[in-house]
Structures are given as structure tokens and as C-alpha cells.
Structure 1
Amino acid sequence: MPLSSVRSFSSLKVFCENKEFAGWDPYDGLNSRLFQSLPGLRQSRWARLAWIQFFKLSPVNLRRIAFVPEEHNAKGLALFLTGYCYLYKTEPKDEYREKIVFLADKIIGLASGGYAGACWGYNFDWQARAFFQPRHTPTVVATSFVADALLTAGDTLKESRWQDTALSSARFVLNDLNRTYDEKGNFSFSYSPLDKTQVFNASLLGARLLARVYSYTGETLLRDEARKAVQYASDRQQPDGAWAYGTLPYHAWVDNFHTGFNLECIYQYQQFTGDASFQPFLEKGFSYYLQHFFTDGGIPKYYNNKTFPVDIHSPAQLMATLYKMNRMAEHQELADKVLDWTIRKMQAPQGYFFYQKRRLMSSRINYMRWAQAWMFYAFCCYFASSNSKKWINEL
């Protein structure tokens, strides 16, 4: 299947480059100038939540008539940046170098100010059930992906200023995030400085960032604090290997891509620190992931207990998880099957990928961060895992 995947990726690449990596997002409804012009709605928690969910769940894209602009999203740019770094390492073309420089510099310009270290958030107000995040409020998730991308870019092009910015992000994780401790002294990092929720993948992404920075600086505090966060999440793994999204009653679901986040974060914590004590949790979780989130026909399920909706993030995360955990060769047949199904069922003729395939009415909306950036990154992980130079030369 390599040739069909290269054609698919080439089409996606052209689409994203023509858009200059800017676009809409499932959660950007509050960027609507129409909504912002209505103070009574803008100030209501329930109105904000309902407005976001309406735009997220609607199969029809209403953003143009609601005056929602297409914008750059720091996390989405980070996924593109990492992908171009993987391409450049395989085939050091000038066009890849130019994209790396453009994306890294653009990302640094989107950083949120006033915190202990470099950090990033989303380009929209975001109302969740647990908390409200104003536009550009930094989160550990966005910051982790951005810092990881900048470190990779710095390694790729030997650019110290990108690395220095990324390394400072460890101070944001250590000093600006809230913590929830258990009786053992282990803890979960909060999602942002504004909340105190315990979301396992978010906390583990913070731990991975600390561990990676430790691999550069040797600062033992980073390793030690990362270990406590990994232990907290590992202790809350369910007996069958699953993780709920978080600890709140309405965070009890188990889904594909957040499970993938957990796995790659624990794996890379061990990789960066040399601490292999979490391997039993990792193996149990990886086995659960493979057994519960992919059908025999290659359909990547969103949730552990039902097939639909199929979210584009799920097949993308499989490629990332297998690559990050160095298990692509072992599960190449699954990767090929899932990628083939995704290309056939979820890619538009224009090159972009749909948001969700549902049982009755799918959402075929083009979302730059959630769909295009993730699939671009997924393809690059897929190619980087194999002897793909001859295929990349076809781009």
C-alpha cells in the first residue's frame, strides 16, 4: 500500500500548504463575531457550552455565516512542524527546511506571556463542563506538543533558539500548573493554571515534557517530578489495562486517542529517563489499546465499547503510538489496514480528511488542527517507521 498512501499524503500536503496551515477547529465556535456581539450569551456558561457543542456536532459547517475566521492553532502547527522534521530527516529537501523555519518561528510568536516558562494555548475561548479557558490560556497539552516539536526542530536544524524556548517550558509545567496529590505523595498536573482537574493524558503529557527536558539538562528534579505524575496515572489504570479520561464522574469514558497519549507518554518517560519500572502498566495498556479500538476490518473506533462515531484523530493516533513506541514493524499489518480504510472512507477529493464518520450523518467538515494536522503527522510517523525514502521521493 505505500504508493496509495504517498498519493493520499501528497494530496493532503498540497491542501494544507495552500491554506498556509490555517483553518477552523471543532471547538472554535466562540470565535464567532456573531456570538461575541451578544453580551447576554457571551457571559453565560451554559450558552457558551451549548454554542460550542452545536458547532462541534453539526454536520453542516456554519462558521462562515457566523463569522468564525480561519486561524493558526499552535498545537496544529506543532504537529505539522514535527511532521516536516521527520520528512527532512528522511530526505533533506530545501522545501522541508523552509517549512520547518516558517512553522517554528510562527509557533514562537503565538506563545502566551506572563508565565514561568514558554507555554501555549488555543486560539479560541473554550468552555468545557469542568472549566472555562479564555483564548490563549496556556494548557499542558498544547505546551507539551509545541515544546516537543521545537526540540525536534532544534535537533533537526541545529537551531538553539528553538531549543532554548522549548526547554523553558519545563518551568511552566513545574511552577504554573496546579497539582492534586494522593496519599503516596504522587500527583496529577492540572490541565491549565485555571483548573484543578485530573485528566490522565494531560498530566502524562506534562510528565513526558519534563522527562524530555531532563534528557537535555540532566536536572534531576525534572525526572523526579515526572516520575510522580507517571506513578499517579499508572496507579489509576483499570485492572483490564484501560484508563478513563479523568477522575470526575463525567470523565469516565475510555477512548482511543487519549489512551494512545497515555501509552506513548509512559514509554517516552522511560526512554528519556532510563526508568523502566512502569513497563507492566505499559504492556497491559498497549494490549488493551490494540484489542478494543480497532476492528478486524481496520475501522479505528473512537470508544472502547462502540464503533461509531469514527473520529479522524483515532487512526492518526495509531500511527503516532506505534511509531513513538517503536512497534510499527510488529504491527505493520494493522497500520496498513487502518490507514487504507481511513484513506478510502474519510478523505475528500480535495485532499483533506473528514472530521467524523457517523452511522447515519457524518461530519465532513475540514478542521485544520483536529483532522489535517493529525493526519499529516500520522503519515510522517508512518513513513518514518519504514524504509520509505524511495516513497518520499515521489512527493
Structure 2
Amino acid sequence: MQSVHRPSSGEFDPDVVRDYLDEALAYAQREDYAGWDPYDGLTSPVLDPFARNTFTRLVCMHGVHKFPANLRPLLGIEKRRNAKGIALFATSYLDAYEATGDETYLQSAESLLEWLWENRAIQSDNPSWGYPFDWQNSNKFFLPEYYPSIVASVFVAQAFVRHYDLTGDEESLEVADGTCRFIMDEINRVQVREFETFAYTPYDDYVVINANALAASLLAVVGDRTSTEEYGERADEVMAFVLDVQDEKGAWYYSEPSDQSHLSHDNFHTGFVLESIHDYLEVCPDEDLQAGYENGMQFYREELFDEGGKPRFESDKRYPRDVHASAQAIRTFVKDGSPESLALAADIFEWAMANLFDESDGHFYRRRGRVLSDKTPYMRWNQGWMCYALGTALAHAA
């Protein structure tokens, strides 16, 4: 492995980035892209008899999640493929293909996209995806394994859009179009003041800011590719809501109403919102939203990172320093493309490779804490996200 290096311009060395990406992808390939997840505790056959209501499900899920040692082997929790993680790997392969022209990357991406198509949710007539584990989202809703959600479905659809943009494959665009139909026709809608917002799933009424931003972004992008005015109009409505709930500092809470949000201004969800706005603005320019984006980017750079590219978990909470935050930030800042964002992205890359990468086998750690660190090799949360970031950096550097 080459040492991490970047010129003073804030640019990435493409050879170094590709080395890290190839090692990380090789690890994922050896594991068949299957692994544990921070929130997979409810798949334990040992805990299943106890996880029968909201409270006990939360205790079991977060007990496994937050325990200082990895209990999953003892609890019989199996490694699984996660559709969202597979989409991240597929996108990283597509980015590497764009950067290098190496057809093996494209072949790997298309194999994963085929798996995603074959493993879409059976609860919907439209292409959509969920997580491979039961999930209790605080006291808001319970989502059984594989039941579709807006966030998982958007990330998968984005991988198909990326494939269409690189190859012109109309079938991939049709998949993404089908996911837009899932969002338009099946995701619940919730009235928030004058805005008709999206819930998180077809089964709840929980209004999450980043989920709405992601949905609006996908609708705008696919609407642009397919000339579907209905998608663009709905995207405009939802993005107006996202702008409305941005506070004067340029930040977003996790959910609306903000006084009921369990997170304040956290790192990677802020990155989700900003990247979504960026992609929306590329096809739907808007002066007010552009100003909100720039205000949000300034808050993101100044309040959610410490010196040397160390990611804060929330703006008022330094630890733990999470791999998901590092990865999303690299992608968000590289896509932003401003000199200050690129310089910070390179600092984050250096910090992450020095502190979260295991050179012995190519896997990434989850997080560094003030006292304890979590080195469990989560496939989606660690490996998928960092490959996603490295693919973005490689495409930019090349």
C-alpha cells in the first residue's frame, strides 16, 4: 500500500486512491459482499423470543449495537447481503470504470445490479428495497426485514441511474423510473404546514428530512432523464420543504418537528441532504435553494469537522468519529468541487485511511471513540460506504 499523499491543491493522487479502493473491494469480494450490520440484532434466534414489542425490540437491537464487544457470533446472527450496501459497491465499481476504462469494474457492477433486480422487495409491484433485518426506528415505527423504505430504495435506484448515465442502458433507467413510481404512489404522505412531505415507508407517518431530500433528488434526476414533468413538480414541492426547515445556521435536524428529533445536526445525514440538493440543482437550478445549499455547506465544513479532517458525530458532539461520516463527507465535498471543500475532503481521506483502515486484510473499522473503538467489520456501514467514497474520489482525481 502506498503512503497517503496529496498535493497542496487538495487534489487526490489517483494511484493511491485506486490502491485503497481495490483492496477494500477485494475484501468485500472475498466475503461475497455479505456481513454484519450495526442494527441487525433482531435477526438473532436467541433474542427473537424476547423482541415482541417496541421496548424489548429496542433493548435487543441497541444492546447488540452498543455492546463494547461483538456479540453476533454468540447470538447466531448471520452475515447477509444488504441491498443498500450492494448499491454502494455497484456505484463504486461504476465510478472506477469511468475513471479507468477497465471493463472488469463494469462487469462487477453489472453483476451486483442484476442481484439487486432479482432481490427487490416482494411487498411492492414497483422496484423497491429494504434492509435484511427487522428494524425498530425509536418509537416511531417497526419495519420487518426486507420491507421497502424510501432511503434504501433511493440508493439502489441511484446506482441504476449511474449505470444508465455511463452505458446508456435503458433498462437501468426503467428500474429507476419504477422506483420513482414506488415513491410517488406508495410512500405515505404527511402534511407539514403547507407542505405535503414523504414519510419514511409506506407504513408510517415519520417525516425524516434526509429521506425527503433523497426522494426529491431522485425524482428530479429521473424526471430530467425521462422528461417526466410529474416527477419534477413533486421534487420541487418536497425540496421547498427541505429548504423551509433549514435553520438560520444552515443546519437541519434529523426529523420534523425538530423538537422531537433524536439527533440534532449530525454529520452524515447532513451530507445526505447537501448531496441531494447538489444533484437536484444540477437539473433544477433555483437561486433560493442555491443560497441554502451554500449556507449548509459552510455549516457542514465549519461545524462538523475538527482539525485534520476528523469528523464530528454531531455539531456539539465530537465522538465517536464514524466511518460513515468520513465516507459521506468525502463524497459530498468532492461533488461540491469548491477549493475549500476539496481540501477538506483530502484531509478527511488522509485521516480515514490512517485511522479506520486495516491494512492486514483491507477492511475498514466503524469508528474511533474517545476511549473505545469499534473495529467490527460491518459490510454496509463500513466497507460499502468507504468504497462509495473512494469511487467518487477516484472518478474526480482521474
Residue of structure 2 aligned with 1:91, choices 83, 100, 103? 100
Structure 1 position 274, deviation (Å): 3.7
Per-residue CA deviation, residues 172-218 of structure 1 (Å, 9 max, x unaligned), is 1111111222343x222111011101110011111111111101221
Which residue in 2 is equivalent to 1:176? 186
Where does 1:34-113 land on structure 2 (aligned, <5 Å)?
A: 34-36=46-48, 38=49, 41-113=50-122
Which structure 1 segments of 5+ residues have no match?
389-395
Which residue in 2 is equivalent to 1:190? 199
Which residue in 2 is equivalent to 1:310? 321
Structure 1 position 267, deviation (Å): 1.7
Q: 2: CA distance between counterparts of 1:110 and 1:326?
A: 35
Which residue in 2 is equivalent to 1:31? 43
8 Å CA contact 2:249–2:295 kept in 1: the answer is yes
Structure with the larger strand share: 2
8 Å CA contact 2:129–2:147 kept in 1: the answer is yes
**What is the SS of the residue equivalent to 1:278?**
helix
Normalising by structure 1, we get a TM-score of: 0.93
Which residue in 2 is equivalent to 1:344? 354
Q: 2: CA distance between counterparts of 1:115 and 1:232?
A: 27
Q: 1: CA distance between counterparts of 2:286 and 2:294?
A: 15
Which residue in 1 is equivalent to 2:164? 154
Q: 1: CA distance between counterparts of 2:216 and 2:236?
A: 7
Which residue in 1 is equivalent to 2:10? none
Which residue in 2 is equivalent to 1:392? none
Q: 2: CA distance between counterparts of 1:15 and 1:313?
A: 18
Which residue in 1 is equivalent to 2:233? 224
Residue of structure 1 aligned with 2:19, choices 7, 19, 35? 7
Which residue in 2 is equivalent to 1:117? 126
Residue of structure 2 aligned with 1:323, choices 330, 334, 358? 334
Residue of structure 1 aligned with 2:28, choices 10, 16, 20? 16
Normalising by structure 2, we get a TM-score of: 0.92
Residue of structure 2 aligned with 1:141, choices 138, 147, 151? 151
Structure 1 position 18, deviation (Å): 1.0
Which residue in 1 is equivalent to 2:213? 204
Q: 2: CA distance between counterparts of 1:374 and 1:294?
A: 18
Residue of structure 2 aligned with 1:370, choices 378, 381, 398? 381
Size of the aligned set, in residue pairs, is 382
Residue of structure 2 aligned with 1:255, choices 266, 282, 299? 266
| Identical aligned residues as a percent | 31
**What is the SS of the residue equivalent to 2:205?**
coil
Q: 1: CA distance between counterparts of 2:79 and 2:365?
A: 17
8 Å CA contact 2:265–2:315 kept in 1: the answer is yes
Per-residue CA deviation, residues 281-324 of structure 1 (Å, 9 max, x unaligned), is 11111110000111122211111012111110111011111233
Q: 1: CA distance between counterparts of 2:327 and 2:215?
A: 21
Q: 2: CA distance between counterparts of 1:351 and 1:361?
A: 21
Q: 1: CA distance between counterparts of 2:170 and 2:97?
A: 18
Q: Which range moves more in the overlay, 138-147 or 52-61?
A: 52-61
8 Å CA contact 2:333–2:342 kept in 1: the answer is no
Q: 2: CA distance between counterparts of 1:45 and 1:183?
A: 29
8 Å CA contact 1:204–1:265 kept in 2: the answer is yes
8 Å CA contact 2:93–2:108 kept in 1: the answer is yes
Structure 1 position 330, deviation (Å): 4.5
**What is the SS of the residue equivalent to 1:369?**
helix
Q: 1: CA distance between counterparts of 2:161 and 2:255?
A: 28
Which residue in 2 is equivalent to 1:335? 345
Q: Which range moves more in the overlay, 3-12 or 333-342?
A: 3-12
2:157 aligned partner, one-letter code: A
**What is the SS of the residue equivalent to 1:42?**
coil
Per-residue CA deviation, residues 255-291 of structure 1 (Å, 9 max, x unaligned), is 0111111111112112123444411111111110000
Which structure 2 segments of 5+ residues have no match?
6-12
Q: 2: CA distance between counterparts of 1:59 and 1:158?
A: 47
